[in-house]
Amino acid sequence: MIVSVKNLVKRYDDLLAIDHLNLTVHDGEVFGLLGPNGSGKTTAINCILALLEYDKGEIEIFGRPMKPEAYDIKRHIGVVMQNVAVYNELTVEENINYFCGLYVADKKLRQELVREAIEFVGLQEFTKYYPKKLSGGLLRRLNIACGIAHKPKLIILDEPTVAVDPQSRNKILEGILELNQQGATIIYTTHYMEEVEQICSRIMIIDKGRSIAVGTKDELKAMITLGEKITVESQRITAAQLSALRRLPNIVSAEYKNRLLVIKSSKGSNNLETVLEFIKQEKIQFGKIYSELPTLNDVFLEITGKQLRD
């Protein structure tokens, strides 16, 4: 086990920011911490890193208690903070070298690591640039390089793709998977469910400082009743047809709004076939018809009653 958090409680005066959070991260996994803004993701990370005082709980990394003076543990952790944290007076290369030097004393080894980090984030053409000259995406890549240049065993990335263009975002996500393939364990916090679905092997959904679900994406989707969402574009659906539709087997709900008929069905086979049969029988005219499997947003919606981005 790489990270173990037991019963973590953190309060800001009357606000309960972390509410008895339990979390385990296993060796070699990409662990996603998914939750809306203000759900407590960053607070949890700062507690894990021994930056924040907390009211209650136990935190262990690499099987040892995590404390501010646990330098042996810190040596093997790489952190990419939510806010870009680099020196504006140092060039790209100097910044990476500086932060890598906080972990690696050997100058020759460091030079090699810096070179690899620059290549890894694709900043070879910008090594002599000062951060102010870089675009938002390139700046984020520099931020990542500063956090991972020393090749840590555990990498914590706190919303590294906020305000990043799609091209840079893809590059960052591919890079994270590559780091994981090279042997690093990753903790990745975000409020973008697509990113979590794309890269995380295990996910914890967090809301109001509480863990509301943990598992692989398939396990999480299996936790909810929704099995399939069928959408039909149609000019006219009568109330009678709508109520008949709701009485079909496995249908959880059917709503008609803005010429869209949205049918949610529980898990089971042939749901789409049943709906198509009904449409044919009722001679309902339709344009498009498509079926979607549930997303993590549906999981979040069903558990909390609100959208992930609310």
Binding site residues, other proteins, CB under 8 A:
12, 46, 49-53, 68-69, 71-72, 74-75, 77, 79, 81-87, 89-90, 94, 97-99, 101-103, 105, 146-147
Tell the smallest beta-carbon distance from residue 20 to other proteins (Å): 20
Task: Render 9-36 in DSSP notation, one character per residue.
Answer: EEEETTEEEEEEEEEEE-TT-EEEEE--
CA–CA dist 292, 294 (Å, integer): 6
- Alpha carbon of 120 to those of 32, 127, 235: distances in Å? 22, 13, 52
Between 37 and 270, CB nearer to other proteins: 37
Residue 157, helix vs strand vs coil:
strand
Report the residue number, 12 or 290, with the smaller CB distance to other proteins.
12
3-state secondary structure of 210: strand
Q: Which is nearer to other proteins, 89 or 282 (CB)?
A: 89
Between 157 and 213, whose beta carbon lies closer to other proteins? 157
- Least separation, in Å, of the C-beta of 51 and other proteins? 5
Rank residues 99 and 256 by Cβ distance to other proteins and give the closer one. Answer: 99
Q: Where are the beta strands (DSSP E) in 159-295?
A: 185-190, 202-207, 210-215, 226-233, 251-257, 260-266, 289-292
At its nearest, how many Å lie between other proteins and the CB of residue 13? 10
**Beta-bridge partners for 87:** none
Both tokens of 40, joined, read: 């407590």
Measuring CA to CA, which residue among 248, 233, 254, 235 is closest to residue 281? 248
